[in-house]
Amino acid sequence: PAAAAMAAGPPPPLEPSPLPAFREEGFGDKFLRKTRENPLVPFGCLCTVGVLTYGLISFKRGHTRRSQLMMRARILAQGFTFAALLGGMVVTALKSR
């Protein structure tokens, strides 16, 4: 029975089948692809950097109240960015199923 099953089909190829060729993705291409997949992460990063910069400028000028407010806003912007990152990971994981 085993010999009949082996003789039923053609023998397997001796050489492995070639893998499909992928083009190397550069930093710019990858950045644009990832930005299109989840545009909220770069937006959150820009907000974080903007609020941080404004807070540091306020601190340097001696506006301590505004500086403290901006540092709290920076934490909120970082939280938003982190939530967007996690949300994008969940969406990507659900799409791949």
- Which residue type sits at 35? T
Range of the domain at 78: 69-96
Is residue 40 included in any domain, yes or no?
A: no
Q: Is the pTM of this model over 0.85?
A: no
Count of domains for the chain: 1
Is residue 55 included in any domain, yes or no?
A: no
Q: How far is CA 51 from CA 56, 75, 97, in A?
A: 9, 9, 38
Is residue 80 included in any domain, yes or no?
A: yes
Q: Residue written as tokens 């403290």?
A: 68
Rounded to whole angstroms, the Cα distance separating 44 from 88 reads 13
Is residue 88 included in any domain, yes or no?
A: yes
Rounded to whole angstroms, the Cα distance separating 74 from 80 reads 10
* pLDDT value, residue 2: 59
Residue 73: pLDDT band with limits 50, 70, 90: very high
pLDDT one-digit tens code per residue, 40-51: 999 999 999 999
Is residue 30 included in any domain, yes or no?
A: no
Is residue 86 included in any domain, yes or no?
A: yes
Phi then psi dihedrals of residue 79, to 5 deg: -60, -40
